[in-house]
Structure 1
Amino acid sequence: MTILGGGDVNPDDLADSLRKAPALVAADGGADRALDLGFTPDLVVGDLDSLSATARASIPADRLIRVAEQESTDFEKALSRIEAPGVLALGMTGRRTDHELAAWHVLMRCRWPRCIVVAEEDIVFLCPPVLRLFLPVGTRLSLFPMAKVSGISRGLHWPIDGIAFAPGRTIGTSNRVATEEVRIELDHPAMLVILPKEHLPAAVSALF
């Protein structure tokens, strides 16, 4: 399933995502972005305060799911209310830093369905307890902790074994792949994995 937010999105990325995950869910104002790009969402989920009158008139009323509470973002409202083997999320980054930070918060809070956020240059996802990826040697692979987390790795230039990761203390950005098979095992699902966008197919294969 594809979730579209109201942030920046490359039309080619959206078309590619819909080939992989053809059901389109808009997070509130993401519906306007979808219509602008020539797509009608299958569902619109959110508090609907960002949905334009034009979008409301263009989308059947039974596709609009209003969630009135203000304790979560529209991305979280959408992600937590769908059932899918995997989700690609676009339009969650690029326009506002607070919204982008909130997207990483959502990945921590909503661990199922597994979700990959597609940004302008990178993809970001929450690392499962065991991750096995196949990537070209030399690929940039960054690890960013969202809480205290430790683990072991195989196939990284700088192994993570014995490192106590935590925000504000130790992070793992700009590591790189040393062998084509990378394996990461964590004691807690609290680590974001960041890869160049061209490796989305490898991430989809590993997660979904």
Structure 2
Amino acid sequence: MTCFAILLGGDLSVTTRLRRQIGKARIIAADSGMMHAAALGVTPELWVGDFDSAGSELALQYADVPRETFPTDKDATDGAIAIAEAMRRGASDFLLLGGLGGQTDHTAGLLGQSLDIARRGFRCCLSSGAEEAWPVVPGHLSIDVPAGSRLSIIPFSDLTGLSLTGVKWPLAEQTVGLGATLTLSNVVTGQVDIMLQAGHGVAIAYPLLAPND
């Protein structure tokens, strides 16, 4: 199992939980996502992008990190390029850090990309530190978040056979239509297990952090 953490250019709150999550992950920075490296205490093995937003100070600070430069006029985001490179390097799991919040089009696009990652058989989690998201595709997904955390499942299509345990309001083989709000604002009581027969969506959690987190 090889986990890659991709540093993206959005907001990131560095918590104790986030530090545990990156653990022994290999790191790739996407353009200005390199700004999170110091706070996380990591040095990426690769820095990719068009470098239109990275900043000269970062370039000096991380001059020894190998770089792959791409033209500004390209058909993929810097984050997508970093993810593709991680796949080429043998990734099995992904942590996409700094991709939630900010510009809605980029966030929505990244959530869609996470669904594609999951449909290709990779495990994927997005995090801003204060907010986490997991793509939900047919099959089984286990999520470990602290009891008391708020959890929602957002349908990106009609969901068929949705079962949900480890929450205050469990579900058993429920059909949840696109646009339905049935699965908003649940409360975690233990390990969360999600089973889905058909469709795809995104589970979003707001981890209840300990005082020292």
TM-score, L = length of structure 1: 0.75
Instruction: Give distance in 2, aligned partners of 1:150 and 1:123.
Output: 23
The change in CA–CA distance for 1:175 and 1:113 in structure 2 (over 3 A counts) is same
Which residue in the other structure is 2:163 paired with?
Answer: 153
Residue correspondence of structure 1 range 151-190 to structure 2 within 5 A: 151-155=161-165, 156=167, 157-159=169-171, 161-166=173-178, 168-169=179-180, 172-177=183-188, 180=190, 182-188=192-198, 190=200
Matched residue SS, 2:185: strand
Q: Greater strand share, 1 or 2?
A: 2
The reply to whether residue 40 of structure 1 matches residue 62 of structure 2 is no
Q: Answer yes or no: is the 8 Å Cα contact 2:146–2:208 preserved in 1.
A: no
Match of 1:4 among 3, 7, 20: 7
Distance apart, 1:125 and its partner CA: 0.8
Matched residue SS, 1:29: helix
Structure 2 unaligned runs (5+)? Answer: none
Instruction: Give distance in 2, aligned partners of 1:32 and 1:136.
Output: 28
Instruction: Give distance in 1, aligned partners of 2:40 and 2:172.
Output: 42
Instruction: Give distance in 2, aligned partners of 1:139 and 1:46.
Output: 35
- Number of residue equivalences: 197
Matched residue SS, 1:109: helix
Alpha-carbon RMSD across the aligned residues, in angstroms, is 3.2
Instruction: Give distance in 1, aligned partners of 2:75 and 2:6.
Output: 20
Instruction: Give distance in 2, aligned partners of 1:23 and 1:50.
Output: 23
Question: Residue 146 of structure 1 aligns to which amino acid in structure 2?
Answer: F
Residue correspondence of structure 1 range 100-111 to structure 2 within 5 A: 100-111=107-118
Distance apart, 1:76 and its partner CA: 1.8
Which residue in the other structure is 1:204 paired with?
Answer: none
Q: Answer yes or no: is the 8 Å Cα contact 1:2–1:18 preserved in 2.
A: no
Residue correspondence of structure 1 range 191-202 to structure 2 within 5 A: 191-198=201-208
Distance apart, 1:39 and its partner CA: 4.2
Instruction: Give distance in 2, aligned partners of 1:175 and 1:15.
Output: 22
Deviates most, 118-127 or 62-71: 62-71
Structure 1 unaligned runs (5+)? Answer: 200-208
Instruction: Tell me which stretches of 4 or more aligned residues in structure 1 moved more than 4 Å.
Output: 35-39, 133-139
Instruction: Give distance in 1, aligned partners of 2:188 and 2:33.
Output: 35
Matched residue SS, 2:152: strand
TM-score, L = length of structure 2: 0.73
